[in-house]
Amino acid sequence: MKFRHCIAAPCSFASSSVGDSEMLATVACKLTCRIDERGVLVPVALDQAWPLLNEPSELLGVTLQPDVDFRRPDVDVLVVGPAVTPGGKPARAMKVQIECGQLKWEAAVFGDRVWIVDEQGVRASEAEEFMTMPLTPERAYGGASSFGGMALMDGMNPAGRGYVAEKAVAGGTKLPNIERVGELVRTWEDRPSPISTGRFMGGAMGFTSSGPLSVQELGKPERIGDMAERFMQAGLQSSPLELTCPAKKLGAELLLRGFEAGGDLRWKLPPVRANYPAVIGEAWGPVAHVAVGALRSAFPLAISRIVALPSHRVLCLTYSTSFRWMFEREQAERSCGLVWHGAWTLDPWADRAEIAAMDARARAADRAAEYGRGSAAGQGVLP
C-alpha cells in the first residue's frame, strides 16, 4: 500500500500480512508540543519534533516501546523526570501525583535512608534532605540481599533497593526512596509492592505483591487466563500498568503534582480522537483516508501514548489507528493518505480569531515547504 501524508509532524505507516489474503496496517503521527503560560499545547516546528520510534529506545532511563504497535491496548502515560520539592527548598519527604481522567497515581517520596542495627533493634535512619529525587525502578523497593551467605534477588524488582533477606544483613541497606502511600516500609521484613514512573523488568512489570493482582491470586486455576493477558499487556506498554489508561477514559487535563518547584502543573489535552466525520463543531485532527480498489474509507486517529517532560514543559502525543483490508491482485489502487483536518492547533475550542491567524501562518509556510513536510493546516489535497 502506498503511503503519503501532508502533516507537519513525524508520520509512519506499517503493514503486515495476517492471512493468505488479509493485511493489517497501523498509521501514526507524533505531535511534539511546548506548554505556554496558560497550560495550552503549542506544536513545535517540524525540525524540533521528536521522531516516531520504530524500535525500543531509552529516554532518561525510561525504555520506550515502538510508537507503531497495534497490539498495545491502552494509552501509555509516561512522566519523565524527578520529583521536585515545593519551592525548590530542601525536604525530607513529599508526595507526587499524576491524574488524567480515570488514571489516578500517587506515591510517597523520601530522602536517602538506611537500616540501622543497634541495641534497640533494626530501625530506619532519618531521611536526608533532597530537592529532586528520581522516580525510577532503581529507587523503588526491591534489589539484592543474601541469606546464609547465598545471594538473593527480589523477584518483583531486582533493580531496586530495600530488600533484606535476613536480619543479620540489614545494617547499612538502603531503603527505597519512592513508596506506595498505603504500603510504607515500617520494618526490614516488609515486602511492599514497588512503585515507579518507569517500567519494571521483574515481576512488578505486571503484578503486585498482594491483593487481586498478585501472582498468588492470578496464578489460581480460574484466573490463569488473566495472568497471561496481564503479562502480555505489560510487555507491550512502555509505562507501568498503573500508568496506562483506556483511551476513552482519559481526561481533558493532565495533572502533575510534585514535579515542579512552582506548584501543580495542569496541562490541557486535545480531544482523544479526531473529530471526523464532524460530530460536534468542525472536523478536527489526523485522519487516514484509505483507498482499496473501488472502496474508500476514513479512519480517525486516537491518542495512543502521552509522554510528559515537566522540567522542559514539553508534551509528546502519539496518535494512531489500525485497519485491515483484503488483498486482491487485480486491485488497481491501494493507498493511504494521512491528512490533518481543521486548524493546526491542539486546542480546537480556542478563540476562533486566534485559530484563523495560526491557520493563515501555517498555510503561508506550506506554500514554501516540500511535499511531505508541510500542510500544517491539513487542508491540502494529497498529490
pLDDT (tens digit per residue) in 156-177? 899 999 999 999 999 999 999 9
Note whether residue 99 is domain-resident. Answer: no
From residue 210, how far is each of 162, 217, 228, 267 by CA, in Å?
A: 18, 8, 18, 34
DSSP-based three-state secondary structure for 235: helix
pLDDT band, very low/low/confident/very high, at 187 (cuts 50, 70, 90)? very high
The pLDDT of residue 203 is above 60: no
DSSP-based three-state secondary structure for 281: coil
- Residue 118, Cβ density class (10 Å: 0-12 exposed, 13-18 middle, ≥19 buried): exposed
Which of these three, 208, 236, 264, is where a domain ends? 236
- Structurally, the chain folds into a number of domains equal to 2
Contact 62, 238 (CB under 8 A): yes
Do 232 and 135 share a structural domain? yes
Do 230 and 116 share a structural domain? yes
Do 126 and 208 share a structural domain? yes
Q: What is the mean pLDDT of residues 117-146?
A: 94
Asked whether the CA dihedral 231, 233, 235, 241 is positive or negative, the reply is negative
Do 256 and 339 share a structural domain? yes
Cα–Cα distance for residue pair 320/297, rounded to 1 Å:
16
Do 253 and 223 share a structural domain? no
Which of these three, 190, 216, 236, is where a domain ends? 236
Do 66 and 145 share a structural domain? no
Do 140 and 211 share a structural domain? yes
Do 216 and 116 share a structural domain? yes
- Which cell numbers in the block locate residue 152? 538473593
Counting residues of the chain whose pLDDT is more than 70, the rounded percentage is: 82
Note whether residue 363 is domain-resident. Answer: yes
Do 249 and 229 share a structural domain? no
Cα–Cα distance for residue pair 286/273, rounded to 1 Å:
9
Contact 9, 52 (CB under 8 A): no
Note whether residue 320 is domain-resident. Answer: yes
Residue 18's domain comprises 2-81+245-368
Do 350 and 290 share a structural domain? yes
Residue 351 pLDDT: 45
Do 124 and 224 share a structural domain? yes
Tell me which of 2-6, 45-49, 270-274, 275-279 is least confident: 275-279
Tell me which of 59-63, 261-265, 319-323 is least confident: 59-63
